[in-house]
Amino acid sequence: MSDGQRPLEGPDQQPVSIPPSQDGNLLATAPGRGKKTRRPSPFDPFRTAVWRGLATILPPLLTFVVLIWVVTTINLYIFRPLTDGTRDLILWYIADIKPASAIPAELRGQKEVVLEGVTYTQVGTGAYIPKAVVDYLESELGDYEIPTGARECYERYIQLRYLKPHIILPCLASVLILVLYLLGKFVAARAGRLAWGTVESVFLSFPLVKSIYGAIKEVSDFLLAQRRIEFRRVVAVEYPRKGIWSIGLVTGESFSEIRTAANEPVLAIFLPTSPAPMTGYTVSVPKKDTVDLDISIDQALQFIVSCGVVGSAQQLGPSAGQPLEVPQTA
């Protein structure tokens, strides 16, 4: 019998060797007991390959989808309103639109007119705009037709000349960072905290908004808090009762009063909950009642988020893959 086997013998019982399941865990069923093993199907290799391919492509695909959603949301609700506002501001400042009624009667109907030394071109059948604007649009648009309205021509002109992506995006990002900085400084002050507390109380006064806002605030506080919790190592503790093991993250030593009462070292341990590890429980456990796990913090969080589906291969133990001996009844 090998070291990985665990014989279970009793009176008049002969040990029988049961191989582990295909995933390496000792989950095989003893002969004659429990559910019968499903007979292999000729489609099993095909089904296994399909699931393996799905498991391979799904993580990068979902990552790509989430990134696209984030970029699209930021562009739709932040950058686009800022760009439109900037365009309207520039339009208000530089627009030189002459309605047909402002043109002298003897010049009306002409395609181009000169007023105060500036050449104006009629767009469509309506107002006049500077010829320089029309020439710029024709040179930039090429075979594409320029807009027929005076305001539309100016909007397109501003978009092409002043709001080029390599210029406007860094500027808008700088403005956004500046606004966030000023908001952070404002909230850090006493008056800012009081004002923001009033705003939050308004949000929390609505039942549905309260639930959504509270959940989002909890996640954002966990991810963006300046005073981050620093986990030191991963341990296993028997919680919530003896015989049930939970994964915990050691944050440090517990209160001195607890150490004095226990008369031994006591650790402060954070026990994350699945599948949202940003919530959980903080317990004080004697050091002797903890078991150090040889896994990283990231591996522990992956194990918790996946509800145990994703785990470290080291946790299979040295007996993984070895047959388990169970008694065979007469």
Q: How confident is the model at residue 225 (pLDDT cuts 50, 70, 90)?
A: low
Amino acid at 53: G
Q: How confident is the model at residue 134 (pLDDT cuts 50, 70, 90)?
A: very high
Direct distance between the N- and C-terminal alpha carbons of the chain, in angstroms, rounded to an integer: 21
Amino acid at 91: L
Helices (H), 25-162: 44-74, 80-94, 131-141, 150-161
User: What pLDDT was estimated at residue 4?
Assistant: 47
User: What pLDDT was estimated at residue 169?
Assistant: 87
**Contact partners, residue 154, CB within 8 Å, separation at least 6:** 91, 94, 95, 97, 129, 133
Q: Are 317 and 290 a contacting pair, CB within 8 Å? A: no
Residue-averaged pLDDT of the chain: 82
Query: Interhelix angle for 165-188 vs 190-204, to 10°?
Result: 100
Across 32-46, 126-140, 251-265, 308-322, least confident range:
308-322
Across 5-14, 66-75, 242-251, least confident range:
5-14
Q: How confident is the model at residue 215 (pLDDT cuts 50, 70, 90)?
A: confident
Unique residue bearing structure tokens 């607890």: 258
- Total number of residues shown for the chain: 330
pLDDT at 11 over 90: no
Instruction: For the beta carbon of residue 92, count every other beta carbon within 10 angstroms.
Output: 8
Partners of 270 in beta bridges: 249, 282
Q: What is the pTM of this model?
A: 0.54
Amino acid at 154: Y
User: CA dihedral in degrees (222, 225, 228, 234; nearest 10)?
Assistant: 10
User: What pLDDT was estimated at residue 227?
Assistant: 57
Instruction: For the beta carbon of residue 312, count every other beta carbon within 10 angstroms.
Output: 15
